[in-house]
Structure 1
Amino acid sequence: MITSIQGVLAAATPLRAVVELGGLGYEVNIPVTTAERLPAVGAEVRLHTLVIYREDSQTLYGFASPADRDFFRLMIEHVKGVGPKVALTIMSKLSLPALQAAIDAADVPLLARCPGIGKKTAERLVIELKGKVGVGSSAALSAASAGKGDDAAGEDGGAAPAHNSHHDAILALGALGYKPADADKAVRTAALKLGTAATTEALIKEALS
């Protein structure tokens, strides 16, 4: 199984990246939340990957962190009606910390606002994944985040602290009256500016500026 790919970023769009490695160009399907963290074209990039095999094709999906990839796998393996395309759409709308928080809080209306997701599918996400995801609640995601600190942009630091501060900042903005999706977007924008090592306080301050 191909669990990661590292090479030169040859091209990128919000939903696809081409990584050149050993004279070959690999097309990788990515969510918008990973595209936001890609380096400039021509720079070295590493994506954590999952290959989906079909009778007539094989498709490579890539993510900024092992935790993102593992959440994608959980959705397509455990939630009826959620295939790779829908799962990628969900992860393009909301970041992993926001999705974790929504599932933990059983926020069906927020999940249902993801393109291609109706109320029933949103309810399935909560029923099937609650207890399997969330900061500190999933053994698989926690182990992946703690053990592998590389991300798509090659930034320093582990994934777990970044996700914790991101998650806490989203909750804080929500307490200030932000809608969950707006809070997530504001914190993602702040994280891009400040880097993955930013504290919760720094993310909140930047998001509010």
Structure 2
Amino acid sequence: MIGRLTGLLVEKQAPEIVLDVNGVGYELQVPMTSFYELPELEQRATLFTHFVVREDAQLLYGFITKQERALFRLLIKTNGVGPKLALTILSGMNAAEFVSCVERDDIATLVKLPGVGKKTAERLVVEMRDKLKSLLEASAGGEHEFMLKTNYTPAPVADSAEEDAIAALLALGYKPAQASKAVTGAFHDGMNSEQLIKASLKSML
């Protein structure tokens, strides 16, 4: 229904953003892999979207590339994986790391993600192996290669970097004690929210 949006980025509170498109503010949930690549506030951004309709909510998910959206769509087709869990998986590891886990049958790394139990991790490895091959073949030679890691410019350091990072981890499904411990352990002077979130997520894998 809504495949792509282009507008001004007016709010960023990981993992949620608000994109102003001709005066209409669209709330989108964005995996951290896409969040890291967003421009600064009041800059134009384009996101490829996936629209989810539930009985109690209508949710819009945004992605920097079509390939990342394609991976999200493959994930939610896996038994036991819904949009929220797919968002968490794509926030905890980038596409290359996820592909590596699947290829190496790395159940141990996948179960470190919140909401991913052993059975779900095993299903992901089995069901995603063939799907990923098709996705990688379809992406070859495209404008954005599936494994491409785009550099991003960090936002200015915020006074509330630690609070923002903890809030982001909680929104992704991590427990309060787990989020607080990871953020405290990863924090270094001069870090902004995005850098701290990224470092915290990496420390838990």
Is the TM-score greater than 0.5?
yes
The secondary structure found in structure 2 opposite 1:114 is: coil
CA distances 1:150-170 after superposition (whole Å, capped 9, x unpaired) = xxxxxxxx334625xxxxxxx
The secondary structure found in structure 2 opposite 1:87 is: helix
Is the Cα–Cα contact under 8 Å of residues 65 and 159 in structure 1 kept in the other structure? no
Pair 125,36 (structure 1): closer, same or farther in 2 beyond 3 Å: same
CA distances 1:94-118 after superposition (whole Å, capped 9, x unpaired) = 0111101111111111111111111
Pair 24,141 (structure 1): closer, same or farther in 2 beyond 3 Å: farther
Matches within 5 A, 1:30-179: 30-77=30-77, 79-133=78-132, 137-138=133-134, 140-144=135-139, 146-147=141-142, 149=143, 158-160=144-146, 162=148
Amino acid of the residue matched to residue 39 of structure 2? P
CA distances 1:91-142 after superposition (whole Å, capped 9, x unpaired) = 1100111101111111111111111111111001001111211xxx22x454
Is the Cα–Cα contact under 8 Å of residues 30 and 88 in structure 1 kept in the other structure? yes
Alignment partner, residue 6 of structure 1 = 6
Instruction: Tell me, in whole angstroms, the C-alpha distance in 1 between the residues paired with 2:74 and 2:94.
Output: 15
Is the Cα–Cα contact under 8 Å of residues 101 and 107 in structure 2 kept in the other structure? yes
Alignment RMSD (CA, Å): 2.1
The secondary structure found in structure 2 opposite 1:18 is: strand
Percent identity (aligned): 38
Instruction: Tell me, in whole angstroms, the C-alpha distance in 2 between the residues paired with 1:124 and 1:160.
Output: 22
Instruction: Tell me, in whole angstroms, the C-alpha distance in 2 between the residues paired with 1:68 and 1:161.
Output: 9
Pair 120,160 (structure 1): closer, same or farther in 2 beyond 3 Å: closer
Amino acid of the residue matched to residue 31 of structure 1? P
Is the Cα–Cα contact under 8 Å of residues 71 and 141 in structure 1 kept in the other structure? no
Pair 84,124 (structure 1): closer, same or farther in 2 beyond 3 Å: same
Instruction: Tell me, in whole angstroms, the C-alpha distance in 2 between the residues paired with 1:104 and 1:4.
Output: 31
Cα deviation, residue 34, structure 1: 1.1
Instruction: Tell me, in whole angstroms, the C-alpha distance in 2 between the residues paired with 1:160 and 1:88.
Output: 17
Alignment partner, residue 207 of structure 1 = none
Which runs of no fewer than 5 residues in structure 1 stay unpaired? 150-157, 164-191, 193-209
Is the Cα–Cα contact under 8 Å of residues 142 and 160 in structure 1 kept in the other structure? no
Instruction: Tell me, in whole angstroms, the C-alpha distance in 2 between the residues paired with 1:8 and 1:131.
Output: 38
Cα deviation, residue 14, structure 1: 1.8
Which runs of no fewer than 5 residues in structure 2 stay unpaired? 150-193, 195-205
